[in-house]
Amino acid sequence: MMSAEAVLGLIEFWLPIAIVAGSAIAAAVHALLTRETPSSAFGWIGMSLLFPPLGPLLYYMFGVNRVRIRARRLDRASRHGLGAHRTGADAELCDYRAFIGHRRLGLAAAGDRLSAWPVVAGNRVDVLNNGDKAYPPMVEAIEAATEFVYLTTYIFETNRVGQRFIAALSRAADRGVDVRVLIDGVGEWYAWPGKRPVGELEAAGVTVARFLPPRLWPPALRLNLRNHRKILVTDGGIAFTGGMNIGDRHFVSANSGVADMHFRLAGPIVRQIEAVFLSDWAFATGQQSAISARELPALGHAACRTIENGPTHDIERLSTLLVTAVSSAYERILIVTPYFLPGPALVGALQAAALRGVEVSIVLPESNNLPPVAWAARHDLGELVTRGVNVYFQPRPFAHTKLFIIDHDYALIGSPNIDPRSLRLNFELAVELFHVETVSTLAAYVVSTIGRSQPYTREDFAARSLPTRLRDSFFWLFSPYL
């Protein structure tokens, strides 16, 4: 028999080896089962097995999608979470032939399987450009409310515009209206210290909550999992959504401010947007509320559907919908976005559309408030322009507008950008529009913007200096996290 000292010596020798080897094998098996592409799986498997213990450590830090794991854990812990509305490939399809053209029935069917909400007809959609057009009707809707006001925003500045909203919300609360405001826990920090919106709203008697705020203890930085939705909905049967936060920055002059587009919706679609807010509110506060029972009459001719997107879902709804929509285009695709970091599937779909003769135009801001994102985006533009995709850079002021238009009868509006943060890491709200008149108005806006924008050609891409190419390529490496 071996002595106790010999056994202890064997343990001291083999235990570290077993731990290092076990961690390498565990990391390699996890990468094999979870990575999305063979190249990614091979890379992490090789790193884990060839360079233990550093390889497994790096894989744990950068290779594991802890964002989605954390989001689903939070969703399960909530009594009524953001993933409450689910669907799948076996979902029952609706018959939309009464109000959607036959060319779009396939796209509508895809939406039935990506969103639990059906397309609803009878909606009115008004386009509101910049703060001077969007904020007055939003404040008017708050002032006219008699039962409830629900507001979600990523950024709520407490400058001149913010104070107008705070005053209107306070007056509504004073007259007995159920006023609830949900502000993203990271977006709140865009306001100056001492002027944060949550404190000012609470002081004004408004019920307010933070969405997943960072905290020191227990530690939770949570830079991802942000609520990027913009929602205002009232009992008046009106909802507002789009890309615009609340703040003076959205009053635009010739070269300053942030240009953006918001939308006022009325009709049956408002109930879907109300339900999204209440789901978010229950997730953030634990307080569940029923959707208002009032039936909303038809007020227009637009067919609409909400699309919720976020990391609690098993499928990347928005990415899949964008690729499906691009594949359905037969005439033109118009994209306006401030941040453009599409995944390989969307890049391939856009290239394929251009090669089959579809006019594909992408409009980006010439000057960006997030330069690293713009530099990373330019790395991929050559892959698109060489396949016939038109790229344009619009001049100042910085444009935060998000539009996705297919042919003459379909558009996707709302809060998402075309980047990994919106498509994979944030909670977003988009609205599908099946309506020739509204889509024509949006397309005319994009065509007008293209007319004053600078084309970006293959020659421009090839003429970049070596330092510029190195810079763009460096930031492109981090594009999944930008």
Per-residue pLDDT band for 311 (boundaries 50, 70, 90) equals low
CA atoms of 59 and 347, how far apart (whole Å) = 27
195 contacts 106 by C-beta, under 8 angstroms? no
- Predicted confidence at residue 79, as pLDDT, reads 44
pLDDT in tens, 218-233: 656 666 778 999 999 9
Q: Retrieve residue 233's tokens.
A: 């909905």
228 is catalytic: yes
Concerning whether 314 is annotated as a catalytic residue, the answer is no
Q: CA dihedral defined by 456, 393, 128, 155, rounded to 10 degrees?
A: 130
H or E segment to which residue 180 belongs:
strand 178-184
Q: Of the candidates 355, 419, 408, 421, which has an alpha carbon nearest to the alpha carbon of residue 384?
A: 355
Q: Which structure tokens are listed for 168? A: 């209107």
Q: Note the pLDDT of residue 45.
A: 75
Residue length, the chain? 482
Among residues 75, 112, 235, 409, the one annotated as catalytic is 235
The mean of the pLDDT values for the chain is 87
* Catalytic entry in 30, 228, 313, 379: 228
pTM score > 0.85 for this model?
Answer: yes
Of 440, 115, 134, 99, residue with least CA distance to 302: 99
Choosing from 262, 313, 402, 435, which is the catalytic residue? 402
Terminal Cα distance for the chain, rounded: 60
Catalytic residue, candidates 400, 409, 419, 472: 400
Instruction: Supply the pLDDT for residue 84.
Output: 40
Catalytic residue flag (residue 230): yes
Q: Which two tokens mark 364?
A: 């980006």
Reduced to 3 states (helix: H, G, I; strand: E, B; else coil), residue 76 is helix
Residue 477 has pLDDT above 50, yes or no: yes
**Is residue 130 pLDDT above 60, yes or no?**
yes
User: What are 288-301's pLDDT values in tens digits?
Assistant: 888 888 889 899 99
Structure tokens belonging to residue 418: 């075309």
Cα separation, 373 vs 118, whole angstroms: 34
What distance in Å separates the CA atoms of residue 410 and residue 100, rounded to the nearest whole number?
Answer: 10
Give 414's DSSP letter: E
The angle at the Cα of 175, spanning 174 to 179, to the nearest 5 degrees, equals 70
Q: What does DSSP assign to residue 205?
A: T
Reply yes or no on whether the pLDDT at 194 is more than 50: yes
Vertex 53: Cα angle to 51 and 56 (nearest 5): 85
Query: What's the rounded mean pLDDT across residues 399-414?
Result: 97
Q: Are 414 and 239 in contact (CB under 8 A)?
A: no
Element (H, E) at 148: strand 148-153
Distance between CA 77 and CA 70 in Å, rounded?
A: 11
474 has pLDDT over 80: yes
Structure-block tokens of residue 374? 């713009």
Sequence letter at residue 134: A
Residue type, 308: E
Look up residue 245 and give its two tokens.
Answer: 């936060």
Cβ pair 441, 83 in contact under 8 A: no
pLDDT in tens, 42-95: 566 777 777 687 767 766 665 565 555 555 555 555 444 434 445 666 678 899
Is the pLDDT at 249 greater than 80? The verdict is yes
235 labelled catalytic: yes
Average pLDDT over every residue of 112-134: 94
Annotated active-site residue 400? The verdict is: yes
Q: Active-site residue among 75, 184, 260, 407?
A: 407
The tokens describing 460, both together, are: 């421009």
Q: Which residues pair with 330 in a beta bridge?
A: none
Residue 211 has pLDDT above 70, yes or no: yes
142 — pLDDT class (breaks 50, 70, 90): very high
Q: Which of 112, 184, 230, 280 is catalytic?
A: 230
Residue 316 has pLDDT above 60, yes or no: yes
Q: Is 402 a catalytic residue?
A: yes
